[in-house]
């Protein structure tokens, strides 16, 4: 297996500020299945980078704990700003099974976006919503 390229860049890079980097890293890597790339130290912050196809998810933890949190309930929370993001994945059912096993909150259970295209919305350990949709075959 080839070693991940820590200098890889994505078509889009999503940055999520977190309070618990290790817990969130375990979710995105072990439960969702993103590929760990590297850790970067930037001033008083640690950024952990993960890849998924042409996208990069960056978890950012500052040495000083955040004072505010993202409003709860994703797009249902009626707050402005980034409320969720979507990943196309190969097997939504298996990923939702891993989420269930890990005790992850699933605001939108497994259903079909359209016939033959399953999707679900899951919540990361800090309340950020992630829509999972199966790559059309």
Longest CA span, the chain: 48
Average pLDDT in the 51-72 region? 89
- Tokens of residue 98, six digits: 């891993």
Alpha-carbon distance of 61 to 44, in angstroms, equals 9
Let me know if 34 is exposed, middle or buried by CB neighbors in 10 A (0-12, 13-18, 19+). buried
Overall pTM surpassing 0.75 (yes/no): yes
- Summarised one tens digit per residue, pLDDT across range 66-83 is 888 888 888 888 888 888
- Summarised one tens digit per residue, pLDDT across range 42-53 is 998 999 999 999
Nearest to 52, CA basis, from 94, 102, 10: 10
CATH number of 12-62: 3.10.180.10
Side-chain half-sphere exposure of 69, counting CA atoms within 13 A: 10
- Summarised one tens digit per residue, pLDDT across range 2-31 is 677 777 777 899 999 999 999 999 999 999
- Tokens of residue 71, six digits: 């409003």
Alpha-carbon distance of 34 to 90, in angstroms, equals 12
Residues of the chain with CATH 3.30.720.110: 83-134
With a pLDDT cut of 70, the percent of the chain lying above it is 96
Question: Could you tell me how many helices (H) and strands (E) the chain has, helices first?
Answer: 2, 8
Architecture of domain 83-134 in CATH?
Answer: 2-Layer Sandwich (3.30)
Element (H, E) at 23: helix 21-26
Alpha-carbon distance of 83 to 127, in angstroms, equals 10
Alpha-carbon distance of 57 to 127, in angstroms, equals 16
Residues of the chain with CATH 3.10.180.10: 12-62
């Amino acid at each position: 297996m080839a070693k991940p390229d820590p200098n890889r860049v994505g078509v889009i890079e999503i940055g999520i500020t977190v309070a618990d980097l290790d817990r969130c890293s375990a979710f995105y890597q072990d439960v969702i299945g993103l590929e760990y790339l590297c850790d970067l130290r930037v001033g008083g912050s640690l950024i952990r980078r993960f890849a998924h196809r042409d996208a990069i998810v960056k978890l950012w933890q500052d040495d000083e704990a955040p004072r505010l949190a993202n409003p709860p309930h994703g797009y249902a929370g009626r707050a402005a700003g980034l409320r969720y993001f979507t990943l196309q994945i190969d097997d939504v059912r298996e990923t939702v099974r891993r989420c269930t096993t890990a005790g992850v909150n699933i605001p939108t259970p497994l259903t079909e976006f359209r016939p033959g295209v399953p999707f679900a919305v899951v919540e990361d350990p800090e309340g950020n919503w992630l829509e999972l949709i199966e790559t059309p075959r």
